[in-house]
A and B are shown apart, each in its own frame.
Chain A
Amino acid sequence: MKKTNTLTIDGKKIYADEGTTILEAARQNGIEIPTLCYHPRLKPLGRCRLCIVKIKGLDRPVTSCDNPIQEGMVVATDTPELQDMRRRTLELLLATHPYEDCLTCVRTGTCELQEQAYRFQSELPEQLEREVPTEPVSDNPWIVRDEQKCILCGRCIQVCRINVGRSVYSMIGSGVNTRVVPYRDGREVSLEEAGCIFCGQCVDVCPVAALTETNRKEGGREWELATAPGVCIECSLGCYLERRFFDDNLIKVTVPEEGEKVSWLCRRGKFGLREREPASFTAVQKYSGIKYVDCDYEEAVDDTAAELRSIKENEGGKALAVLAAGKLSNEEIYLLQKLAREVLDTENIDLGIEQMWLKAVRRVQEISGTSPAGPAPRDIGEAESIVIVGSGLEESHPVADMAVRQASRYGKAAVVEISERGEPLNAWDGSVITVKKGWEGAVLRAAVDLLKGKASSEAAKKARIEKNELERITSFITGSNSILIVTPEFFAAAGADDIEALIAVGEKTGMLVRGQNKMLLLSRFSNAAGVAVAGGAPGCGPGMETIPEARGLNRDEIRSAINDGRISGLLIFGADNETIGLKAPFTAAVCGDYDEAPEGADYLFPAQQIAFKEGCFVNAAWQKRCNTAVIENKAEINSDWRLICDLGIALGAKWEYPSLEKVREEMKEKDVVGQADQDER
Chain B
Amino acid sequence: MNNLYEKHLMICGATGCLASGSQSVEEALRTELEKHGIKDKFRVVMSGCPGFCEVGPIMVVYPDKVFYCRLKPKDIPEIVEKHLFGGEMVERLLYKGPDVEAPARFFDTIPFYAKQKFNVLRNSGLIDPENIDEYIMRGGYRALTRVLQMEPADICEEVKSSGLRGRGGAGFPTGLKWEFTLKEPGAKKYVVCNADEGDPGAFMDRSILEGDPHTVLEGMLVCGRTTGADEGYIYCRAEYPLAIKRLKIAIEQAEEYGLLGENILGYGFNFKINIKEGAGAFVCGEETALLASIEGKRGMPRPRPPFPAQSGLFGKPTTINNVETLANIPLIVKEGGVEEYIKIGTEGSKGTKVFALAGKVRNTGLCEVPMGITIREIIYDVGGGIKGDREFKAVQAGGPSGGCIPAELLDLPIDYDSLNKAGAIMGSGGLVVMDERTCMVDLARYFLSFTQKESCGKCTPCREGTKRMLEILNRITEGEGKAEDIDTLESLAQSIKDSSLCGLGQTSPNPVLSTIRYFRHEYEEHINDKYCRSGVCKALFNYKIDTERCTGCTACARVCPVDAITGEKKEPHEINQDLCTRCGSCIERCPENCIMITPVEKKADVSS
Interface residues, chain A, with chain B CB atoms under 8 Å away = 44, 46-50, 52, 60-61, 63, 66-67, 84-85, 88-89, 92-93, 95-96, 125, 128-129, 152, 154, 170-171, 173-178
Contacts and interface: CB of A to CB of B under 8 A. Distances in A.
B303 interface: yes
Contacts of B401: none
B500 A152 contact: no
Contacts of A178: 455-458, 463
Given A46-B303, A84-B491, A129-B471, 19 more contacts: A46-B302, A46-B459, A49-B460, A63-B501, A66-B303, A67-B303, A88-B492, A89-B460, A92-B468, A152-B458, A152-B463, A173-B457, A174-B457, A175-B463, A175-B466, A176-B455, A176-B463, A178-B458, A178-B463
A171 B501 CA distance: 17
Identify the interface centre among A49, A84, A89, A177: most chain B CB within 10 Å of its CB.
A49
Contacts of A154: 458
B452 interface: yes
B495 interface: yes
A553 to B, nearest CB: 58
B281 A174 contact: yes
Given A67-B303, A171-B300, A176 B459 contact: no
Nearest to B465: A92
A93 B455 contact: no
**Chain B binding surface, main DSSP class:** helix
Interface in B337-393: none
B459 A49 contact: yes
Interface string B305-342: 10000000000000000000000000000000000000
Given A46-B303, A173-B457, A96 B499 contact: no
Nearest to B456: A174
Nearest to B299: A174
A646 to B, nearest CB: 61
B454 A92 contact: no
A47 B458 contact: yes
A88 B283 CA distance: 23
A152 B492 CA distance: 20
Contact of A92 (B298, B461, B497): B461
A247 to B, nearest CB: 38
A44 B305 CA distance: 13
A66 B305 CA distance: 9
Contacts of A96: 464
Contacts of B300: 171
**Chain A binding surface, main DSSP class:** loop
B467 interface: yes
Contacts of A49: 459-461, 499-501
B453 interface: yes
B454 A176 contact: no
A49 B501 CA distance: 8
B195 to A, nearest CB: 21
B436 interface: no
Contacts of B500: 49
26 contacts: A46-B501, A49-B499, A49-B500, A66-B303, A67-B305, A84-B491, A88-B495, A89-B499, A93-B460, A95-B464, A125-B468, A128-B467, A129-B467, A129-B471, A152-B457, A152-B458, A152-B463, A171-B456, A174-B283, A174-B457, A175-B452, A175-B453, A176-B463, A177-B457, A178-B456, A178-B458
Interface in B476-495: 491-492, 495
Contact of A176 (B281, B283, B452, B458): B452
Contacts of A152: 457-458, 460, 463
Nearest to B466: A175
A177 B456 CA distance: 10
B495 A85 contact: yes
B499 A85 contact: yes
Nearest to A94: B464
Contacts of B471: 128-129
A92 B501 contact: no
Given A89-B461, A171-B300, A52 B499 contact: yes
A175 B495 contact: no
A60 B466 CA distance: 19
B506 to A, nearest CB: 8
A316 B313 CA distance: 75
Contacts of B588: none
A92 B281 CA distance: 24
A128 B464 contact: yes
A49 B500 CA distance: 7
B495 A171 contact: no
B498 interface: yes
Nearest to A37: B460
Contacts of B461: 49, 88-89, 92
Identify the interface centre among B457, B492, B497: most chain A CB within 10 Å of its CB.
B457
A60 B464 contact: no
Contacts of A85: 495, 498-499
A292 B305 CA distance: 71
Nearest to A46: B303
Contacts of B455: 174-176, 178
A392 B300 CA distance: 37
Identify the interface centre among B464, B466, B500: most chain A CB within 10 Å of its CB.
B464
A88 B463 contact: no
Nearest to A128: B467
A66 B303 CA distance: 8
Contacts of B457: 152, 171, 173-178
A95 B467 CA distance: 10
Interface string B283-309: 100000000000000101011010000
B288 to A, nearest CB: 11
Contact of B495 (A48, A66, A84, A95): A84
Interface string B91-126: 000000000000000000000000000000000000
A152 B458 CA distance: 7
Contacts of B492: 88
B303 A93 contact: no
Given A47-B459, A93-B464, A88 B491 contact: yes
Contacts of B463: 152, 175-176, 178
B459 A175 contact: no
Q: Give 6 nearest A-B pairs by CB, closest first.
A: A178-B457, A92-B464, A176-B467, A175-B455, A88-B495, A49-B499
Contacts of A125: 468
A125 to B, nearest CB: 8
B282 to A, nearest CB: 9
Interface in B434-466: 452-461, 463-466
A84 B496 CA distance: 12
Contacts of A52: 498-499
Contacts of B283: 174
A95 B470 CA distance: 14
Nearest to A97: B464
Contacts of A48: 459-460
A90 to B, nearest CB: 8
Contact of A175 (B302, B303, B305, B467): B467
Interface string B495-513: 1011111000010000000
B423 to A, nearest CB: 16
A88 B456 CA distance: 20
Interface in B168-187: none
A52 B466 CA distance: 19
A581 to B, nearest CB: 53
Identify the interface centre among A52, A95, A175: most chain B CB within 10 Å of its CB.
A175
B466 to A, nearest CB: 7
Given A63-B303, A88-B492, A175-B454, A47 B460 contact: yes
A176 B298 contact: no
Interface in B504-555: 506
B452 A92 contact: no
A177 B491 CA distance: 23
Contacts of A50: 460
Contacts of A128: 464, 467-468, 471
B498 A174 contact: no
A177 B466 CA distance: 12
